[in-house]
Amino acid sequence: MANKIVIFDIEIEVIKKNIKNMHLTVLPPDGKVRITAPASIKDDTIQSFAIDKITWIKKQIGKFENHQRQTKREYVTGESHYVWGRRHRLELRHNYSNKVEIEGDNLILTVRKDSTTQQRENAMIEWYRKQLKEKLPELTEKWEKVIGIKADTFRVKNMLTKWGTCNIRDKRIWINLQLAKKPINCLEYVIVHELVHLLEKSHNSVFVDYMNKFLPDWRMTKNELNNFTMDRYL
């Protein structure tokens, strides 16, 4: 059953279910706020919960508003692009084949002179994919040994709402392409998080205990990662 409450001019959808704990989410693409709560919980308790979280709610809504304002990249000289958490100035060069490489603080994108924006974007996407795939084998092997569980497959795709996902049945883990832009510790956190889901599917106390055991500072990295916005346009 769903109804709505308004806290500080923010409309919040409330859904009551047969669950144990309350869950707060801010949903794409426009920052819709939803609280899922146990069926037995009182409305006053839900309102107090929302008020306590209002600063976080506003911050998340702001991220979606930033997404909506974000303009599509043109992949021209002077743009800023990030690689493993470090800012680089894009320099566009022309040749007969596509190539991306780092020279000091510059990210050199070489493409045909008549290339379109989409073709330049595709070249960058494939380069980011290559960077991530080069890092994954070493890191996944490291953490699979530590955790004592092995995924059947790690795959990479661009996602707008999640840094990683795990298909527990097939033991298949997807890693967000955009992690190639973030500090390497963020990638490690996502790998550990998804591998732990192969031990415990829910974000319950058992899951938290595993995370505390394998990656004691995971909360700090999670907060760091949550402060990054996901790019609508690469």
Instruction: Convert the pLDDT of each residue in 13-49 to its tens digit.
Output: 999 999 989 999 998 767 889 999 999 999 999 999 9
Averaged pLDDT of the chain? 91
The angle at the Cα of 12, spanning 10 to 18, to the nearest 5 degrees, equals 160
Q: What does the DSSP 8-state code read for residue 112? A: -
Q: Which one-letter amino acid corresponds to residue 68?
A: Q
- Contact indicator for 189, 173 with CB cutoff of 8 Å: no
Tell me the two tokens of residue 43. 């409305």
User: What integer pLDDT is reported at residue 62 of this predicted model?
Assistant: 77
Higher pLDDT, residue 216 or 72: 216
Tell me the two tokens of residue 53. 């979280």
Query: How many CB atoms neighbour CB 27 within 10 A?
Result: 13
pTM of the predicted protein model:
0.71
Give me the domains of the chain, ranges plus CATH numbers. Answer: 2-69 (no CATH), 80-226 (3.30.2010.10)
Could you give the 3-state DSSP secondary structure of residue 94? strand
Strands 153-157 and 23-27, by their bridges, are: unpaired
Tell me the two tokens of residue 159. 């996602």
End-to-end CA distance of the chain: 38
The angle at the Cα of 36, spanning 33 to 41, to the nearest 5 degrees, equals 125
